[in-house]
């Protein structure tokens, strides 16, 4: 059976430890920027908690900093996540496709009305 979205939760501060409160099994997750609401990540996974844990890369330092790709990096304090658990990976995949279709339909309606 499909569950509903959990509430938005902040990522734990890497300096103080903590854990990500997410299903260890299959499901869907979404990550957004807290200030702008910009969607940073949306995916299905067989191991949601593990996927969220590896989502934020360790900051580059030393020589790695010189060769790091130039892309936008967010601090964990700037992001929040929510999850939706599923009974199987196939169910999670189907949920993600439906949610993505609903979001796209919403954005099309919004654009047709002229909302920015």
CATH number at residue 81: 3.40.1440
Statement: residue 26 has pLDDT above 60? yes
Q: How confident is the model at residue 115 (pLDDT cuts 50, 70, 90)?
A: low
Domain that holds residue 109: 9-58+72-113
Whether 65 is in a domain gets the answer no
Beta-bridge partner residues of 44:
28
Whether 40 is in a domain gets the answer yes
Whether 36 is in a domain gets the answer yes
Whether 13 is in a domain gets the answer yes
Domain count, the chain: 1
86-111 pLDDT tens trace: 999 999 999 999 999 998 998 898 88
Contacts of 44 (CB under 8 A, 6+ apart): 26, 27, 28, 86, 89, 92, 93, 95, 96
Q: Give the pLDDT of residue 69.
A: 56
Write the DSSP string, 9-33.
Answer: EEPPPTTT-------SSSEEEEEEE
Edge-to-edge strand ranges of the sheet holding 39-45: 9-10, 79-85, 27-33, 39-45
């Amino acid at each position: 059976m499909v569950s509903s979205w959990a509430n938005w939760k902040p990522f734990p501060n890497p300096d103080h430890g903590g854990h990500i409160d997410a299903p260890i099994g299959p499901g869907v997750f979404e990550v957004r920027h807290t200030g702008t609401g910009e969607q940073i990540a949306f995916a299905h996974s067989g191991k949601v908690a593990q996927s969220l844990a590896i989502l934020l890369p360790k900051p580059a330092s030393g020589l790695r900093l010189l060769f790091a790709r130039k892309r936008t990096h967010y601090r964990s304090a700037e992001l929040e996540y929510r999850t939706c658990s599923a009974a199987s990976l196939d169910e999670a995949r189907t949920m993600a496709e439906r949610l993505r279709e609903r979001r796209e339909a919403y954005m099309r309606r919004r654009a047709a009305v002229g909302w920015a």
